[in-house]
Amino acid sequence: MILTQCILVSILLQTPPQTPRVVRSADEAKLIKDVVDGLKNQPAGLSRLDSLNLPDEFLARVADRIVRMDYQKQMRSVRLASPAAVIPPAATPAKVPAKDEGGSFNWVTAILAVVVLAIFIFPRLKRSPAQ
């Protein structure tokens, strides 16, 4: 049973050895809180998103979406050994999953990346505007 659990967790992780293994569970909550705080600090017109009085429960769902997309982008990206073979026509370059340039993954960097993603990038990703 323990072996099974270890294997399951290893599937989910698939991270390089330098990733810290002994981390308090509070760090996961802190990550979500950091993303929510990042969302609240986004500019919203003449103010910040915090002024929209959005419920934390809703923001937590948005934060979860950001975490999922960012985790998949960093840890589940499909890096191609010969990308030229599958690159689509020039008119639509953004649609092939991005190359994973990572390899020296660090979870602190990940948290920062998620927050940056929350503030600047994620709002523009939803339903990509044009092909």
Partner 1 sequence: MNPISSNRVIRILPLLFVVPAWLSVSPAVARGEGVVEIIRADHDAALLALRKTIPEDIPLLRGYRATTPPDSWPHALPTQQPAPQLVEAMKLVASRLAIDGLLQVTAGVIHAIGPDAFLKDDAAAIEILKQVGLPVDLLEAFTVGDASGSKLVRHIASRLAAGAAPGDLTSDLSLAKFAFRPSSLGFQLSSEAGQSNIDLVRMQVPNADYWKGQGDGSALDVVRGMSSALPEARLVVSIASEAADALRAEAAKWQRGRGAGITILPGPWRPAQWAQDNGKPGTATTAAGKREAATLMPRYASRGEERSVCDSAETFGIEALAKIGHRLIRSPLLFQGGNLIPVYDPATRQRVLLIGEAEVYRNSALGLSRPQVEEAFRVECGVDQVVVLPAVSFHIDVELSAREVGGKIVVLVNDELGAASLIVRRSLDAIRSLGRIDAATVEAAMKDLAAGNAGAVAQRLAGPVGQLRDADGAYTENIVAAFCAGEVDSGAASIARFLLAMDILTGLQLKADELPSDPFARAYVRSLQRRAEDRARLHAALAELGWRVAPVASLSDENRGINYVNGFHVPGRYLMPAYGGFFASVDQAAAEQIRAALGAEVEVVPVLCGETQRRLGAIHCAASIYPAE
Distance CA 3, CA 51 (A): 49
Q: Is 93 in the site for partner 1 (CB under 8 A)?
A: no
Distance CA(100)–CA(72), nearest Å, equals 10
32 — phi, psi (to 5°)?
-60, -40
Contact with partner 1 (CB under 8 A): which of 18, 28, 116, 120?
A: 28
In the list 100, 116, 120, 121, the residue contacting partner 1 (rule: CB under 8 A) is 100
Residue 48, SS3 per DSSP: strand
96 contributes a contact to partner 1 by CB under 8 A? yes
Of 79 and 116, the one with the shorter C-beta distance to partner 1 is: 79
H helix or E strand, kind and range, residue 43: strand 43-44
The 52-91 site mask, x for binding partner 1 (CB under 8 A), equals xxxx--xxxxx-xx-xxx-xx-xxxxxxxxx--xx-xx-x
Does 115 bind partner 1 (CB under 8 A)? Our answer is: no
Query: Binding to partner 1 by residue 117, rule CB under 8 A?
Result: no
CB 39 to partner 1: min, Å = 6
The separation between the first and the last C-alpha atoms of the chain, rounded to the nearest angstrom, is 48
